[in-house]
């Protein structure tokens, strides 16, 4: 088993990655420190009166859990005190927060993905993305409006039976596991690779009646199994935590879908481009998978708002491409 800590890994990678500067290395370590603190708070749970609602809503109009608020504060305070972030933005906050004027990195994050799982003691996670500031003046809203392909770092931390950090530096995907005895993330898997084919899909099937025709067609074919046109049986998996579902796909393949639906036609999608789709899309592509809205690659979407929503289809390459082809057939019909 590897004894390489996250710090040592980052120092080693500085030799081969020009964009991995000492400041960026420190910033990634600061993210990991905040996530260690979140992990500790989660493991205390009811013992520290951490469960239940915070009695407030976030910018999305969603009821916040106590741990949503705690996790957001831990991320914000840790990153600002580290001095390596020019500005940060969170799914839980209306606006960006300015950091150090001398810094040149922007951090976006979902501090606690899947927080509806907290009170039933199931997996949750933290998702993060790092961009390089484009302007030379103090960071502003426009600096964040970069396509996902311009991310230089993306990752998530999964709080499950063990706490795991999954990271890409734009050069493959590696995994670290938190050793609680020494308080360090240790490298435990390298160069994750997603199988191009799969027999697992993840989707919230309660929205079936609202799906567009291409998605209905795809899911119907999966459910038909060996007796249908696909000629093989599929299994459905759904964790209700994007981090959990994506971790499974990175580990053994699969396809994750939160597509556009007609439940609320005014919303372009359910998931957030900046805090969920872009970082997860980068991780999936770096591991050999594909990430699409159904109509174009997620990482090519030009942002127009910090809290922009989009459809999300990502995972094993051949399955994503099949579903994208169904959207194309519908558009051209």
* Annotated binding-site members: 91, 110, 112-116, 204, 276
Q: Give the residue among 270, 275, 221 at the shortest CA–CA distance from 88.
A: 275
> DSSP string covering 17-52, please?
-TT--HHHHHHHHHHHHHHHHHHHHHHHGGGGT--S
Confirm if 254 and 315 have CB atoms less than 8 A apart.
yes
Asked whether 63 and 92 are in contact (CB, 8 A), the reply is no
**E-strand stretches of 200-311:** 200-203, 235-236, 255-258, 271-272, 290-292, 309-310
Name residues whose C-beta falls within 8 Å of residue 108's C-beta, 6 or more positions apart in sequence: 88, 89, 90, 128, 129, 130, 131, 144, 274, 275, 278, 279, 306
Rg for the chain, CA atoms, rounded: 19
Binding site for substrate: which residues?
Answer: 113-116, 204
| Structure tokens, 183 | 């308080």
β partners of residue 179: 184
Structure tokens at 291: 């990430």
State the alpha helices, DSSP H only, in the chain.
6-13, 22-44, 66-82, 141-144, 213-224, 242-252, 278-286, 317-332
Contact partners, residue 31, CB within 8 Å, separation at least 6: 75, 78, 79, 107, 109, 128, 155
Q: Which residues define the annotated binding site for Mg(2+)?
A: 91, 110, 112-113, 276
Residue showing tokens 């927060």: 97
Task: Using alpha carbons only, give the angle 28, 13, 252 rounded to the nearest 5 degrees.
Answer: 75
Rounded distance, CA 264 to CA 242, Å? 21
d(CA 105, CA 132): 5
């Amino acid at each position: 088993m590897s004894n390489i800590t996250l710090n040592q890994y980052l120092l080693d990678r500085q030799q081969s990655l020009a964009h991995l500067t000492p400041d960026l290395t420190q910033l990634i370590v600061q993210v990991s420190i905040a996530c260690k603190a979140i992990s500790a708070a989660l493991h205390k749970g009811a013992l520290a009166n951490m469960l239940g609602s915070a009695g407030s809503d976030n910018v999305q109009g969603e009821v916040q859990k106590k741990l949503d608020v705690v996790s957001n504060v831990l991320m914000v305070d840790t990153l600002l005190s580290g001095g390596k972030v020019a500005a940060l933005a969170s799914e839980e906050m209306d606006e960006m927060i300015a950091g150090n004027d001398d810094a040149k990195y922007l951090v976006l994050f979902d501090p606690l993905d899947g927080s509806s799982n907290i009170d039933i003691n199931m997996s949750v996670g933290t998702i993060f993305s790092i961009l390089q500031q484009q302007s030379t003046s103090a960071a502003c809203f426009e600096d964040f409006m970069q396509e996902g392909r311009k991310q230089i770092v993306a990752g998530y931390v999964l709080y499950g039976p063990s706490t795991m950090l999954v990271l890409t530096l734009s050069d493959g995907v590696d995994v670290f596991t938190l050793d609680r005895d020494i308080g360090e993330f240790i490298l435990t898997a390298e160069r994750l690779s997603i199988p191009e084919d799969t027999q697992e899909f993840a989707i919230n099937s309660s929205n079936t009646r609202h799906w567009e025709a291409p998605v209905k067609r795809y899911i119907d074919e999966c459910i038909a199994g060996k007796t249908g046109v696909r000629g093989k049986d599929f299994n459905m998996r759904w964790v209700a935590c994007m981090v959990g579902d994506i971790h499974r796909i990175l580990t053994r393949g699969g396809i994750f879908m939160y597509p556009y639906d007609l439940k609320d036609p005014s919303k372009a999608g359910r998931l957030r481009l900046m805090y969920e789709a872009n970082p997860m899309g980068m991780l999936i592509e770096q591991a050999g998978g594909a990430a699409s809205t159904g109509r174009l690659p997620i990482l090519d979407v030009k942002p127009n708002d910090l809290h922009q929503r989009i459809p999300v289809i990502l995972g094993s390459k051949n399955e994503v491409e099949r579903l994208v082809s169904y959207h194309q057939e519908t558009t051209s019909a």
